[in-house]
Amino acid sequence: MLAALVALRLQTIVSRETKPGEFAVLTVGSSVAGSKSNIIPDRAVLLANLRTYDMGVRRRMIDSIERMVKAECEASGSPRLPEFEYFDQYPLTDNDTQVTERITSAFRSHFGAETVFDLGRQTASEDFSAIPNALGTPYTYWGVGGTDPEKYQRALDAGRVEQDIPVNHSEFFAPVIEPTLSHGTQAGAVIVVVGHVLNLPPTAMAITGAAVCFGIRFVAIRRGWHLQVAGLSHTDDQNDERGR
C-alpha cells in the first residue's frame, strides 16, 4: 500500500510543481514488493525514470521525490527511512550552434535540402556528450534515417508513426539496407571534410568516426549482414556475429 501511495504521489511533481513550459517526465516503471498473496511484504523497491531539459528543474524534482517519499513513509508509520540510489544518469546533449550550422549546411549541400531536417528535442537517454565534454570539444548530435520512405509516409498520414515505425531499441527495428548504409558512410566522410575545414582537433573527428562505425556495425548485426572491416574480420564461423 505504501509503495502504491508513493507512486501516485510522485505523479503530482509534474502536474502540480512543474511550471507550464518547463519540460519534465517522471515515470515509475517498476514496483516490486512481496512474493505471496497472503503475506504483507516488509519492503518495496520502486524504479523511477526522470527526464528534463534543464538541470535546475532536475534538481528540484529530485528534491521533491525525496521529500514526498519520506513524507509518505512517515505518514504510513514505516519503521525505516527510505533509501535512495541514483544510477544511469546522463548529461544534457546540447549541440554547439556553430558546429551544427556548418554540419547542417554541408549535409544539405551533399544530400539535398529536402532530405535534411531538424530532429527537434529528443527525450532519449544518451551518454554521447560525455566524451566531447571531457575533451572540451564542440559537437553536434545527428542521426541517419533508416525507414522506407513510403512506409514512413503511410504511417505519418495515418497518424501512426509511434505505432508503426519501430525505434532502434525495438525487436522489430530493421532499417532498409540502402540507402541507410551508403548515406551513413557518406555522412561520416562529409563530417571529416568539414572537420578539416573548421580545423577541428583530431579528437572531434575520431569521436565522429567511431560513432559512424558503431552505427553501421549495429545496423549490420541487427539485419544479419556480414561486413568485412579492415583488421576486424572473423574467419571462424563460431565467432561470426551474423544474425545476432
Domain ranges of the chain: 2-75, 97-239
C-alpha cell at 67: 521529500
Residue 215's pLDDT band (cuts 50, 70, 90): very low
Supply the angle between the helices 180-198 and 97-111 in degrees, to the nearest 10.
Answer: 130
* Top-level class of domain 2-75: alpha beta
Spatial contact of 10 and 66, defined as CB atoms under 8 Å apart: no
Is the pLDDT reported for residue 4 higher than 60? yes
Q: Which of 4-18, 53-67, 176-190 has the lowest mean pLDDT?
A: 176-190
Is the pLDDT reported for residue 194 higher than 80? no
**Nearest Cα residue to 137 out of 95, 80, 193, 173:** 95
Q: Give, for 49, the enclosing helix (H) or strand (E).
A: strand 45-52
Residue 228's pLDDT band (cuts 50, 70, 90): very low
Is the pLDDT reported for residue 219 higher than 80? no
* pTM over cut 0.75: no
Model pLDDT, residue 191? 79
Q: Which of 118-127, 134-143, 198-207, 222-231 has the lowest mean pLDDT?
A: 222-231
Place of cell 550552434: 97
